Every structure is written in C-alpha cells, then in structure tokens.
C-alpha cells in the first residue's frame, strides 16, 4: 500500500477516535491519536493476517491466529484507535464504533475477549500484562513451528509496572526472536509528564541490558518512518533476540489543541472542540 493511502486511513481513524470519545463523553483520545499511525501501519502494511471473508463480508477471525501475525495491545485504554483500525481492516462493521463504551456493547471501555469482538485476543486495561501474554503467544507459535511475528504495544507510563520487567527478562532468556515489543514514548501520563511522575530514565539502556535488540522510530507520527522502522525491526528477528521499538509519538497527534500536554489523556471533547478537531482531519473513507 502507498504511504498516501495509509495516511488517508489514519486521517479517517483519527476522525473516528474523536467522534467515538465525544459520543460517549469518556475515553482516551490523546494516546489513541498518538498511536494511530503505528496501528494503521501494522494492520494495513506490516502484519500478515488472514484475509478470508465470512458471511456478511467481514474477516473471519480465529482466536489461535494460525499462520497469522498477532498484535497485543497492553495499554488497553487506547481502545478507540484499536477498535477503529480493526473495523476499517474488516473485522466488524464500522457502524458498531458508535456503540463504544455504551451499555450492551462489544466495544467495552477497555478491550476484552469476553464480548467476542473479532480481532481482540486478550483483555487489557490493568497495565503491565500484555508483554507477558505476547511472550506466551510467541512461545506457542514457536512450539507449533510457525514462522510468524508477535507484536505488543505498551505505554511509556506503563513501564513503571513491575510485571513489565518480569516479562522483559523472560523474552530474551527464552530467545524469543519472533517477538517485537513497541513502547509508545509520548512522555505523558495521567498525572503529568512521565519524567516528573516517575522517570523511566534510559529505556534503551535498560532494554539492551535485559537482552533486547532496541531500535528507535524518531517520529512515530510520520507514516514513512513508521513503515521503515517496522520493516527494519522485522529484519532483526530470527537472530536469537527479541526486538524492542522505542516509538516517539505526540499525544493527541493530528489535533493541534490536544497536543503537547497530558491534558487530553482521558478527557472527551465537547461539541465545539469536536467540530474544531474534525476540521483538521479530512474525512477520507466516510464517517461511521
């Protein structure tokens, strides 16, 4: 897919995010907007997934994902971007995005398998658990003799959870060279800048010391850099080491007044702010 096409999808996903969060007046727009380019790049370019369609025209989803690349979202609060990307990729109807965070919806506040939403393989929201799950899936794939890749996205604030470091030591120990971790370095968390709340210090040095092959994507909101970085990470697999991508993003990317602070981590726009945000985001594929 051309970069322009990916950028058009990203623009539509960003529109979906602000509209979804506005409609239920809750949710997390900031991190969702920041990770939009990554998730679009993964699902529309990088990942090998089953394109077989079932009844109704949506993708058939099987939990085991046999011979497919798998993605785990550990920082589950950025569910709006995940749901929008899954819908556009064809896992379920776009119209369902309108049910986000509402009663009787499959699109829970944080992602879950419990409501059987196609595309979701684990519940996340309580932070720090996704990398462990991704390690388990990577081990299963290796046991099954599959040559597929497991991806796991975490937040930078999430790095403060102890379990992350239990997982960080386990993946290189088991020589999981089919695993790519990604950390969203937006430098913000609920209570303020990450450096102020609880400094991560040098994440690159930390992961290297734990045995990971670490690479940077300097601008995670530049689609070309995202695609180049993901390709580079994949080339580093198969060499006895897991790979960690440090993805520098801007919280709120794409909506000027949501950028540059932690204020839009978990706040919904009002009607006026919604209009201002949508004016900056071209409707490329049609709103849900």
Partner 1 sequence: MTKYPFTEKKDTRSGFGAGMTELGRTNPNVVTLCADLVGSLKIDTFIKENPERFIQCGIAEANMIGVAAGLTIGGKIPFATTFANFGSSRVYDQIRQSVAYSDKNVKIAVSHAGLTLGEDGATHQILEDLAMMRAMPNMTVINPCDFNQTKAATIAAANHEGPVYLRFGRPVVPVFTSPDQKFEIGKAWMVSEGKDVSIIATGHLVWEAIQACEILEAQGISAEILNIHTIKPLDEKAILKSVRKTKCVVSCEEHQANGGLGDAIAQTLAKNFLAPQEYIAVNDSFGESGTPTQLMEKYGLNAATIVEKALKVIARKA
The footprint of partner 1 (CB under 8 A) covers: 63-66, 70, 72, 112-114, 121-126, 128-141, 143-144, 162-163, 166-167, 169-170, 173-174
The three-state secondary structure class of 192 is strand
Going through the chain in order, the beta strands assigned E by DSSP cover 70-73, 150-155, 179-185, 188-189, 192-193, 213-217, 243-248
Q: Choose between 33 and 107: whose C-beta lies nearer to partner 1.
A: 107
Helix (H) or strand (E) holding 4: helix 3-24
In angstroms, what is the minimal distance from the CB of 146 to partner 1? 8
d(CA 6, CA 29): 20
Q: Choose between 2 and 104: whose C-beta lies nearer to partner 1.
A: 104
In angstroms, what is the minimal distance from the CB of 68 to partner 1? 11
Q: Choose between 143 and 279: whose C-beta lies nearer to partner 1.
A: 143
Q: Choose between 95 and 143: whose C-beta lies nearer to partner 1.
A: 143
In angstroms, what is the minimal distance from the CB of 178 to partner 1? 12
* Cβ neighbours for 257, distance < 8 A, ≥ 6 positions apart: 273, 276, 277
Burial of 136 (0-12, 13-18, 19+ CB in 10 A): middle
Q: Choose between 17 and 120: whose C-beta lies nearer to partner 1.
A: 120
Q: Choose between 46 and 132: whose C-beta lies nearer to partner 1.
A: 132
In angstroms, what is the minimal distance from the CB of 70 to partner 1? 7
d(CA 222, CA 214): 19
Q: Which ranges in 104-191 belong to alpha helices (H)?
A: 130-143, 162-173
Place of tokens 């058939």: 60
In angstroms, what is the minimal distance from the CB of 72 to partner 1? 8
In angstroms, what is the minimal distance from the CB of 182 to partner 1? 16
């Amino acid at each position: 897919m051309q970069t322009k096409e990916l950028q058009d999808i990203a623009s539509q996903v960003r529109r979906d995010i602000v509209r979804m969060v506005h409609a239920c007046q809750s949710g997390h727009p900031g991190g969702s907007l920041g990770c939009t380019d990554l998730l679009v790049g993964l699902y529309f370019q990088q990942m090998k997934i089953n394109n077989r369609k079932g009844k109704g025209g949506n993708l058939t989803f099987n939990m085991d994902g046999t011979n497919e690349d798998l993605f785990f979202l550990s920082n589950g609060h950025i569910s709006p971007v995940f749901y929008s990307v899954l819908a556009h990729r064809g896992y379920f109807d776009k119209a369902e995005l309108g049910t986000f965070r509402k009663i009787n919806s499959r699109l829970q506040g944080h992602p879950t398998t419990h409501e059987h939403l196609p595309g979701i393989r684990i519940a996340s929201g309580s932070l720090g658990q996704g990398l462990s799950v991704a390690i388990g899936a990577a081990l299963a794939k290796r046991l099954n003799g599959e040559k597929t890749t497991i991806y796991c996205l975490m937040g930078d604030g999430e790095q403060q959870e102890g379990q992350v470091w239990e997982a960080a030591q386990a993946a290189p120990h088991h020589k999981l060279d089919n695993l790519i971790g990604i950390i969203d370095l937006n430098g913000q968390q609920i209570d303020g800048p990450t450096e102020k709340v609880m400094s991560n210090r040098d994440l690159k040095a930390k992961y290297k010391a734990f045995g990971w092959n670490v690479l940077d994507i300097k601008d995670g909101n530049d689609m070309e850099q995202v695609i180049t970085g993901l390709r580079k990470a994949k080339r580093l697999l198969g060499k006895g080491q897991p790979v960690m991508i440090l993805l520098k993003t801007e919280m709120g990317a794409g909506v000027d007044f949501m950028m540059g602070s932690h204020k839009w981590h978990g706040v919904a726009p009002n009607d006026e702010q919604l209009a201002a945000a949508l004016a900056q985001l071209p409707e490329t594929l049609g709103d849900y």
